Amino acid sequence: MDKNDVKNRFEKISGGMSGNAVIIDKETGIEYLFSAGSGGGGGLTVLLDRSGKPKINQDYH
């Protein structure tokens, strides 16, 4: 997957100055939490619903 594929497939739907953002996969609707570290590192994890399944954004359902 090249940079253009990433830019077209994923969208930041919320985030602030703290380095955290919610990102959505526009193909699946699954939401992820991205957290950027102060030292240049970061992490990405899938958000889960109440039943433990990946959270699907309602706009993409």
Give the CA distances from residue 34 to residues 41, 54, in Å, rounded to whole numbers and listed in that order: 11, 15
DSSP β-bridge partners for residue 7: none
Q: What DSSP designation does 3 have?
A: H
This prediction has a pTM of 0.80
pLDDT at 54: 97
pLDDT at 17: 66
pLDDT at 16 over 80: no
- For residue 2, the one-letter residue type is D
Q: How many Cα atoms sit within 13 Å of 46 on the Cβ side?
A: 12
pLDDT tens-digit readout, 20-57: 899 999 999 999 999 987 777 889 999 999 999 999 99
pLDDT at 18: 76
CB 22 within 8 A of CB 14: yes
Counting every residue written for the chain, the total comes to 61
